[in-house]
Amino acid sequence: MRDLSIHLKNQHNSVYNKPPWTTPLQVVMQDDFMAVINKPQGIPVIGESHSLSMSPLLDQLQKSSQSDALGKPRLVHRLDAPTGGLLVVAKTHTAESKLRIAFQERLVKKR
C-alpha cells in the first residue's frame, strides 16, 4: 500500500508541475464576446502560479472590440486539473455575467 501511495504522489507531482504555457492553446471557437478552448489534462485552471488563469495563454485570444470588453479574458467555469475538455472564456463583462448564470443554473449541457 505504501508503494502505491508513493507512486501516486510522484505521478501527481509530475502532472501538476508542468506550466500550461508550454502547451499550445487550442481555440475551438471565438468571437467578440467569448471563446471556447480545449484544456489538456494535467493543467490546473485556478489557484496556482502555473494555472491556466494565471498564464499568458489567455492573452493569445483575440481582443474584444466591445465597449464592455474585459482587460483580460476570464474563465467562466472550472475543470479539475486531471480533466481535459472545453473551457468557456468570457471577453466582455456582459458575456461573463450571462455565461456564469447559465452555468450556475445548469443551462449548459456537459458531456
Residue numbers annotated as active site: 80
Cα separation, 35 vs 89, in Å, equals: 5
Helix (H) or strand (E) holding 71: strand 69-75
The residues near 97 (Cβ < 8 Å, ≥ 6 apart) are none
Helix (H) or strand (E) holding 37: strand 34-39
E-only strand ranges, 18-68? 26-30, 34-39
Tell me which amino acid residue 102 is: A
